[in-house]
Amino acid sequence: MVKTKHLENQSVIANIDWLSIFLYTALVFFGWMNIYSASLPLEETSIFDLSQIYGKQILFIGITLPVIVIILSLDAKTYEKYSLIFYIIGILLLMGLFIFGKTIKGQTNWYQFGGISMQPSEFAKIGTALFLSKYITESQTTFQTLKEQVIAMGIIFLPVAFIMLQPDAGSAMIFMVFFLVLYREGFPAWYLWTGFFAILLFILALVIKPVILLVLILLGCIIHFIYNKSIHRNPFIYAILAVVMSGFVFSVDYVFENVLEPHQKDRINVLIGEDVDMKKEGYNLNQSMIAIGSGGWTGKGYLEGTQTKGGFVPEQHTDYIFTTVGEEWGFVGSLSVVVCFLSLILRVTYLAEKQKNNFNRIYGYCVAAILFMHFFVNISMLIGIFPTIGVPLPFFSYGGSSLIAFTLLLFIFLKLDANKVNEW
Amino acid sequence: MRKLLFPIIVLTAAIIIVARLFYLQIVDDSFLKKADINALKIVYEYPERGYIYDRTGQLLVANQPSYDIMVIPREMKNTDTLELCNILEITKDDFIKKIEKAKVYSPRLPSVFLAQLTKTEFAAFQEKIRHFKGFYIQKRNLRDYQVDYAANVFGYIRQINEMELERKPYYKSGELIGIRGVEQAYEEDLRGIRGVHYIQKDKFNKEIGPFKEGIYDTIAVKGNDLTITIDGALQKYGEELMIRKRGGIVAIEPKTGEILALITAPSYDPKLLVGRDRSKNYVAIDSIPGKPFLDKVLQGQFAPGSPFKILTGLIGLQEEVIDTETRFPCSHGFHYARGAFMACHDAGSWNLHAAIAKSCNTYFAQTFMRIINKYPTPAQGVDAWYSHLKSFGLDDYMGYDLPSGQKGNIPSSEFYKKWYPNGGWKSTTIISNAIGQGEIVMTPIQLANVMCAVANEGHYFTPHIIKKIENKQIDKSFVQRKQTTIDKQYFRPVIEGLAEVYRTGTASRLQIPDIAICGKTGTVENFAMVDGEKTKLQDHSVFLAFAPKENPKIVVAVFIENGSWGASWAGPIASLMIEKYLKGEITRTDLEKRMLEGDLSANYVLRDISDKQKEEKDRLKRLEKERQLQLKAKQNGKN
């Protein structure tokens, strides 16, 4: 028994996590079905028609197969060993955009050479995840010193800075999820709390009158101070906190009016229920909610969605692909997709926690966190609980860059996981 | 803790997403409708409305195509208003008003922009329609009247209004609906069922094919043709006779209850209420003195006078308070109570036969008193009398198949208890009822129905206008015999009396050669307020007849407003109607000529003045009321 086990240990096939592969395949396949529905032309053509979006997606799916084979056949140590190289390649690709990139609607997110285009920010995530894991593993840090904290944040913010310059707020935002990984590895909690409170205050400041919010903040500080039984409680800290928060609240209005782009303001206005024109800035969200909301329990049937057929939802095959699920497959279909993503994310998290090697664990965490962020931001924006931000739904949305990048991201981890029995 | 935070965040996020999805997809059901509005274009196809034929198979009402210009305000784009107005010959103000109205109804749903274009107008517009986004042409069917009479029988069709739209969920804005007459009564049979085609649109509003290959589409079902009981020739003749007179004629076949003719005067040409001038013409017709839109046969109510004596006689016989040989002396009337005298135009001692022929007031007043006094209390007496009358369809809408009508009034004991709360009323108090005055109110069709029951010797069929509906049975209640409470044996003596009316009585000059007619004249006093004073107008002229005496084929009731006594206008017109129907031609051409040319306009001068004054008074009252309301509202506002 022991002998045979040792033999099996050598094989990727025997050790790879088939549940993850099953979920991955299900999502890719169901994603393609919905892309087919969303991009179906009036005249029937072959599903392999490369002039059609669904035909191209089949090509992309085809490309992932050799990619997977290569990832799985490389030595598991390669990824840790060359993580800096991957990171640097990612950064270079991002920098190269400013020279070779194609500018569409004021954003320079893509390379386009001939018929092939590529979005480097998708790949930069992988490099960042690998290099961040590597740094934490190498330095064996638990982020007790400011220096370590700054280095970790530097690794994250370097690509973010280039992405913000494109500008692409959505992709940049995805990188913030690395803080959840850092927290798991010992990063001080107050970073998260500060971020959380900043977001909360930002939203409240937009919804409630600043003066009322100010009173609430002061009351909160006073009550907290009274009930704080700690002997270290320092009234000055409370006073400073109150002043900072008040200052923040008053700056929100300024930021909102002067820093945010008009379309970003619109997207927030749409969400907090300000009066918006459903034909203009509110159009996307409105049509998206109509598509999903009209699905009912079991949907209108595959290829029968009126919103989908009529092309009412913009970019339906990419960022808005989930609206097709909602419309044609209803609540049952939507729930299934959510459960698939949830299972995959939690499965990867679970596998990560089981790793004996720190690099593997941290990288696994990064994979789960990136998948989660995409999943949450994408679906939330379609159903009106998050501002509209253009991020794709992993494995589901149309697009070669995102499909191949997410496949790389996931399968590198699956390779590491399959190799864990060899880690000593 | 650090291990748990991420899974907790992931689970929380998933729960929020699922909850929100549940809300959008299951709880809030408004999205499905929005999706349909987004993506579906509904095209209606209107079937031909059913034709209307008369009892002889003559086509009376057919259809002609009509074209409405429809507008969907939301889809209008860069409309060249000036050109559109020029083509359609409307002003820019009209254009703005119509678009505003359409927007109020719905920016997304089609409204009629301009209704009922003629073929040439339609052709001119069709050439250019592609320049006008948001406008399209909807074909409908309008009526094409083959005859210029029977407008009151047909009713008309017009666009449904907002109030009706709310009550009748079948209809869509701009659709046509039958109003009054047969068009209203048999609307659901005539209109058929519209066809619906669902067409899938894309976001540019471009049609991309039938929705789901047309599985929800329905084809239009043609309306059912109707055959009505009217005899076209008789109806036409009756209307001609009524020119320059006011009132109504109704002719019924007693064996079946089928209405042979239903005439009201003044009337109008049904063609006037078709096409774009419909509403203009409607206003014009409505302002003609004499209320052309009031069906005087169905809605005209009055104290019937002498013809009612038939019923008093029949009830007397049934209650066995008289027999055919009972005689009452009359000396130009009689004293029925101290100081109370009922006048009568003849003197003598009459039995029933003679009393009917001579229309003796005394005789029927005495009979009436005996009926009431037969019972221990006047209340019981009146109720017994009332239930006999009720069996003739009086004090009742009768259930005929035309949408307008009045129930008239027959007083019951309840009625008098209200009127005399302290009691003290008895037969003599209400004696005017004996001769069809007092509290009795009837419509001409009720009178005719009474005569049908007499002609049938005890039963009648509910009068009706429908003879046959294509693919459908007519209402069963129209072929059910309605029995009156009077035994058959009592009718013969009354019929003999009515025949005597023609032989020697009040209508002796109106005989028709070879036809034995039974009839009864009536004269109805009436008053109007002129300059604030109650003024007596010329009497209404009433005549009720059936013929032939044996095996009766037609009952005619004629009511001529202010036509003086029964035999002057109503009688001759009734006899001409009978002759026309039974013989197909008129032998008494002198009488016919006199009736056709007869002009009663002079008799209506006072009535018209009175009506105008009343209208003006009502208008002022209304204004005053509005003013008061506004004042009140203002005060409330201040408080």
B22-68 pLDDT, tens per residue? 999 999 888 888 887 777 777 888 888 999 999 999 999 999 888 88
Helix, strand, coil percent values for chain B (each to nearest 5): 45, 25, 30
Q: Tell me the pLDDT tens digit for each residue of A189-198.
A: 888 888 888 8
Contact partners, residue B537, CB within 8 Å, separation at least 6:
B526, B527, B528, B562, B603, B606, B607
Class of domain B297-599: alpha beta
- The reply to whether residue A326 touches residue B13, judged by beta carbons under 8 angstroms, is no
Most confidently predicted of A199-213, B415-429, B581-595: B581-595
Distance CA A351, CA A363 (A): 11
Contact between B21 and A326 under an 8 Å Cβ cutoff? The reply is yes
Please give the backbone phi and psi of residue A63, each rounded to the nearest 5 degrees, phi first: -65, -35
- The reply to whether residue A368 touches residue B32, judged by beta carbons under 8 angstroms, is no
Q: Which of B25, B29, B36 sits opposite A326 (nearest CB)?
A: B25
Confidence of residue A4 (pLDDT cuts 50, 70, 90): very low
Distance CA B189, CA B186 (A): 5
- CA distance readout (Å), B101 to A245, B38, B75, B104, B415: 53, 22, 15, 5, 49
Residue A44 scores a pLDDT above 70: no
> Chain A: residue nearest B15 by CA?
A338
Amino acid at B95: F
Is A327 at the interface with chain B, CB within 8 A?
yes
Q: Chain B contacts of A349, Cβ < 8 Å? A: 6-7, 10
Q: How far apart are the first and last CA of chain A?
A: 20
> Chain A: residue nearest B22 by CA?
A331
In terms of DSSP H, where are the helices of B148-301?
151-154, 162-167, 181-185, 187-191, 232-241, 278-286, 296-299
CATH architecture of B41-228: Alpha-Beta Complex (3.90)
Q: Chain A contacts of B14, Cβ < 8 Å? A: 338, 341-342
Q: Chain B contacts of A384, Cβ < 8 Å? A: 20
- The reply to whether residue B2 touches residue A289, judged by beta carbons under 8 angstroms, is no
Coil, helix or strand for B541? strand
Residue A384 scores a pLDDT above 80: yes
Q: Residue B616: in which H helix or E strand, if any?
A: helix B605-638
- The reply to whether residue A42 touches residue B11, judged by beta carbons under 8 angstroms, is no
Q: Burial code of A276-294, b = ≥16 C-beta within 10 A, e = fewer?
A: beeeebbbbbbbbbbbbbb
- The reply to whether residue A289 touches residue B36, judged by beta carbons under 8 angstroms, is no
Min Cα distance B213 → chain A (Å) is 11
Q: Tell me the pLDDT tens digit for each residue of B189-219.
A: 999 888 888 888 777 767 777 777 777 788 8
Characterize the bridge pairing of strands B207-210 and B40-45. Answer: unpaired
- The reply to whether residue A304 touches residue B39, judged by beta carbons under 8 angstroms, is no
Of the candidates A272, A301, A298, A270, which has an alpha carbon nearest to the alpha carbon of residue A284?
A270
Q: Chain B contacts of A307, Cβ < 8 Å? A: 35, 38-39
- The reply to whether residue A306 touches residue B200, judged by beta carbons under 8 angstroms, is yes
Q: Tell me the pLDDT tens digit for each residue of B242-292.
A: 999 999 999 999 999 999 999 998 999 999 988 778 888 999 998 888 889
Confidence of residue A2 (pLDDT cuts 50, 70, 90): very low
pLDDT at A280: 65
Contact between A307 and B38 under an 8 Å Cβ cutoff? The reply is yes
- The reply to whether residue A330 touches residue B40, judged by beta carbons under 8 angstroms, is no
Residue A152, both tokens: 């970790």
pLDDT at A278: 63
Q: Burial code of B45-82, b = ≥16 C-beta within 10 A, e = fewer?
A: ebbbbbbbbbbeeeebbbbeebbbbbbbbbebeebeee
Interface of B with A (CB under 8 A): 2-3, 5-7, 9-11, 13-14, 16-18, 20-22, 24-26, 28-32, 34-36, 38-40, 200-203, 208-209, 211-212
| Whole-complex ipTM | 0.91
Is A349 at the interface with chain B, CB within 8 A?
yes
- CA distance readout (Å), A191 to A187, A196, B177, B451: 8, 9, 72, 102
Q: Tell me the pLDDT tens digit for each residue of A94-104.
A: 999 988 888 88
Q: Chain B contacts of A142, Cβ < 8 Å? A: none
- The reply to whether residue A180 touches residue B9, judged by beta carbons under 8 angstroms, is yes
Contact partners, residue B424, CB within 8 Å, separation at least 6:
none
Cis check for the bond before A167: say yes or no (omega within 30 of 0). yes
Of the candidates B255, B243, B375, B244, which has an alpha carbon nearest to the alpha carbon of residue B315?
B375
Q: Chain B contacts of A183, Cβ < 8 Å? A: 2, 5
- The reply to whether residue A289 touches residue B31, judged by beta carbons under 8 angstroms, is yes
Q: Residue A117: in which H helix or E strand, if any?
A: strand A116-118
Residue B598, both tokens: 């007869």
Q: Tell me the pLDDT tens digit for each residue of B540-557.
A: 889 999 989 999 999 999
Confidence of residue A3 (pLDDT cuts 50, 70, 90): very low
Of the candidates B36, B9, B270, B315, which has an alpha carbon nearest to the alpha carbon of residue B146?
B270
Distance CA A115, CA B339 (A): 119
Distance CA B494, CA B565 (A): 22
Characterize the bridge pairing of strands B340-350 and B518-530. Answer: unpaired
Q: Burial code of B2-16, b = ≥16 C-beta within 10 A, e = fewer?
A: eeeebbeebeebbee
- The reply to whether residue B9 touches residue A330, judged by beta carbons under 8 angstroms, is no
Residue A290, both tokens: 């109509």
> Chain B: residue nearest A369 by CA?
B6
For the beta carbon of residue B498, count every other beta carbon within 10 angstroms: 29
Compute the Cα dihedral for B168, B170, B176, B182 and give only its sign.
negative
Domains of chain B by residue range: 41-228, 297-599, 606-639
- The reply to whether residue B32 touches residue A289, judged by beta carbons under 8 angstroms, is no
Q: Which of B24, B30, B208 sits opposite A292 (nearest CB)?
A: B24
pLDDT at B29: 83
- Interface probe for B, chosen from A142, A286, A306 (most Cβ of B below 10 Å), is A306
Please give the backbone phi and psi of residue B345, each rounded to the nearest 5 degrees, phi first: -85, -10
How does DSSP classify residue A326? H
Of the candidates B539, B585, B588, B592, which has an alpha carbon nearest to the alpha carbon of residue B565?
B539
Contact between A353 and B3 under an 8 Å Cβ cutoff? The reply is yes
Coil, helix or strand for B507? coil
Contact between B149 and B267 under an 8 Å Cβ cutoff? The reply is yes
Distance CA A284, CA B21 (A): 17
Confidence of residue A1 (pLDDT cuts 50, 70, 90): very low
- The reply to whether residue A310 touches residue B211, judged by beta carbons under 8 angstroms, is no
Please compute the mean of the pLDDT values over residues B575-596 and round it to a whole number: 90
pLDDT at B18: 95
> Chain B: residue nearest A295 by CA?
B25
- The reply to whether residue A342 touches residue B14, judged by beta carbons under 8 angstroms, is yes
Please compute the mean of the pLDDT values over residues B577-598 and round it to a whole number: 89
Residue B54, both tokens: 């008369």
Residue B394, both tokens: 């009086």
Of the candidates B315, B573, B343, B359, which has an alpha carbon nearest to the alpha carbon of residue B453?
B315
How does DSSP classify residue A21? H
Of the candidates B406, B451, B188, B458, which has an alpha carbon nearest to the alpha carbon of residue B301?
B406
Distance CA B367, CA B431 (A): 10
Q: Chain A contacts of B29, Cβ < 8 Å? A: 296
pLDDT at A10: 64
pLDDT at A275: 61
pLDDT at B399: 87
- For every residue of B260-293, DSSP letters joined together read EEEEEES---GGGGSSTTHHHHHHHHHTSTT-TT
- CA distance readout (Å), A339 to A22, A106, A303, B17: 13, 36, 23, 11
HSE toward the beta carbon, residue B400, CA cutoff 13 A: 36
Please state, for a pLDDT cut of 90, what percent of chain B lies above it.
Answer: 38
Global pTM? 0.66
- CA distance readout (Å), B118 to A100, B90, B111, B112, B130: 66, 15, 19, 15, 19
- What is the average pLDDT value for chain B, to the nearest integer? 87
Is A379 at the interface with chain B, CB within 8 A?
yes
Cis check for the bond before B110: say yes or no (omega within 30 of 0). no
A106 vs A156: which has the higher pLDDT = A156
Of the candidates A422, A354, A363, A418, which has an alpha carbon nearest to the alpha carbon of residue A81?
A363
Q: Tell me the pLDDT tens digit for each residue of A356-380.
A: 889 999 999 999 999 999 999 999 9
Q: Chain A contacts of B30, Cβ < 8 Å? A: 293
- Interface probe for B, chosen from A191, A320, A383 (most Cβ of B below 10 Å), is A383
Q: Chain B contacts of A277, Cβ < 8 Å? A: none
- The reply to whether residue A287 touches residue B38, judged by beta carbons under 8 angstroms, is yes
In terms of DSSP H, where are the helices of A273-317?
283-293, 306-309
Burial of B175 from C-beta contacts in 10 A (0-12 / 13-18 / 19+) = buried
Min Cα distance B208 → chain A (Å) is 8
Please state, for a pLDDT cut of 90, what percent of chain A lies above it.
Answer: 46
Please give the backbone phi and psi of residue B459, each rounded to the nearest 5 degrees, phi first: -135, 165
Please compute the mean of the pLDDT values over residues B360-385 and round it to a whole number: 90
